[in-house]
Chains A and B, each alone.
Chain A
Amino acid sequence: MEETSPHKGRLINDEVAETITRAEELAYELKISEVMTSNMHKISPDQTMQDVVDLFRQARISGAPVVLNNQLVGIISMEDLIRCLVTSDLAANISKYMTPSPLTVKAGDPVIEALKVFVNSQVGRLPVLDENEHLVGILTKGDITRGLLRALQHDYQAEEVRRYRASHLFEDIISDRTSLILRYTIRHRDFNHGGEASGNIKRALLRLGASPQIARRCGIAIYEAEMNLIIHTTNGGVLRVEIEPHRISIDAYDDGPGIKDIELAMKPGYSTASEEIRELGFGAGMGLVNIARCVDSMVLESSLDKGTRLRMKLFLDKAETVGEGYASKQGDAA
């Protein structure tokens, strides 16, 4: 298994995977060709060490590949230059002081391969070769850092773009009434996924341009409703969220067992939850109270053995609309 893995035998268990950061992931995703410097300064082995001094000073670099007939033959660095200066030998040919047949990396390899070479050797730069062994670039640790930062920035911008697009979702759609409906099936006693739907809804609202306060109020209300479906129903239930620019309507419904006394259920601290549920941190009798505090309107209907339907609504004023971009909000603020 290890040998046949397409990922160069890199086998990781979940525990290790936990500690992998995005930057480390990128080291596997990014190719060396994406981060290397390709328009580099080259020098020929029959030029003099004086030429090296001039090149380093002029180009403000501290090393360069040595190339003869399009073929990499060595690398010359500041250290080589110092050795030469110690013996005042600036007239010598570069071939005398360069490091011949240096370590190289392949342009198509992931950045991690270059990092391994940097870690295991003392070199400061690595010539990059293509599949035909031609020099196509040079790579320093600085190039890698910059490449990773660029990629992280790109990740960030991608999320911004997603958010921007979603926040303008409704703007170009003409209808008498446009809305976006999200549905989630909630399974009875599925505690491990409890809150997943609410998390996704909260994220969707933020992407649609909802204010953090609105997203938080919705998130808390829906989370409590979701936990109620998990804890109290016979067969689980459904969360349905309808998002309109000026209104968010949330329905949580199930097919049983129904609530015996709604007035009592609404009383702070009243709960029918079992000891087991309480140990999980729920069943404090605050769920419906919390919901009522977070939404603008709430209707709870239930009939024994038939099921329960909880309808919640949040009304968004003009400065807080979702999915309509910024234009309408700015217009309103002026």
Chain B
Amino acid sequence: MNVQELIELVDGHLINTSADLSREVKGGCGADLMSDVLASIQPEAVLLTGLCNPQVVRTSVMADVAAIVLVRGKNPPQVTIDLAEEENIALITSPFGMFELCGRLHRAGLPSLERSVSDGPSELE
């Protein structure tokens, strides 16, 4: 699934314009705690979150996230949008809640890219 298809699947609205819509999304991860994201997410996942501050984008850059979906129609502050624009990462807002979004993406065949924290370093393969 690419970012464009993801946007359609979640009835999403793309907030920034610099993103590459053909970027491949390999799976998903949903979390509001950024340290949890950093601890568990594998590269090239879509991050579903209710958090709107710039740290969401920073975290995504560090963790090689393919796209960010903000749940429940949240609109991020301008600093977050600016940062997403600068980092060329897709920032999408969707009217659905976290549970509905996880369900939709999973049903569409997107696997979980969350790894249990006890599994050891997530990028040592």
Q: Taking beta carbons and an 8 Å cutoff, which residues of A are in contact with B?
A: 14, 18-22, 191-192, 194-196, 198-199, 202, 212-213, 216-217, 219-220, 223-224, 227, 268, 280-287, 289-290, 293-294
Contact = CB atoms under 8 A, between A and B. Distances in A.
B123 A223 contact: no
Interface in B36-81: 36, 38-39, 43, 49, 51, 53-56, 58-59, 61-64, 78-79, 81
B120 A202 contact: no
A312 B50 CA distance: 32
B62 A216 contact: yes
Interface string B74-93: 00001101100101000000
B2 interface: no
Contact of B34 (A21, A192, A281, A293): A281
Report whether over half of chain A's contact residues are helix, strand or loop; otherwise say mixed. helix
A306 to B, nearest CB: 26
Contacts of B49: 281
Given A194-B54, A284-B34, 6 more contacts: A191-B54, A192-B79, A194-B58, A195-B59, A268-B117, A281-B56
B64 A281 contact: no
27 contacts: A18-B17, A18-B85, A19-B17, A20-B17, A21-B17, A21-B18, A22-B18, A191-B55, A192-B54, A192-B79, A194-B55, A195-B55, A195-B61, A199-B87, A202-B62, A216-B62, A216-B64, A219-B61, A219-B62, A219-B63, A282-B55, A284-B34, A284-B35, A286-B35, A286-B36, A293-B120, A294-B123
A220 B62 contact: yes
A294 B41 CA distance: 13
A13 B21 CA distance: 25
B39 A290 contact: yes
Interface of B: 16-18, 32-36, 38-39, 43, 49, 51, 53-56, 58-59, 61-64, 78-79, 81-82, 85, 87, 117, 120-124
B123 A199 contact: no
A222 B31 CA distance: 20
A294 B35 CA distance: 13
B44 to A, nearest CB: 10
Contacts of B35: 224, 281-287, 290
A220 B63 contact: yes
Contact of B61 (A202, A227, A281, A293): A202
A294 B54 CA distance: 23
A159 to B, nearest CB: 12
Nearest to B56: A281
A14 B78 contact: yes
B57 to A, nearest CB: 8
A137 B17 CA distance: 34
Contact of A286 (B39, B79, B121, B123): B39
A286 B38 contact: yes
Contacts of B117: 268, 286, 289
B38 A223 contact: yes
A293 B58 contact: no
A213 to B, nearest CB: 5
Contacts of A191: 53-55
A18 B14 CA distance: 12
A223 B58 contact: yes
A281 B81 contact: no
Nearest to B80: A192
Given A18-B81, A195-B58, A199-B58, A217 B121 contact: yes
Nearest to B118: A268
A199 B39 CA distance: 17
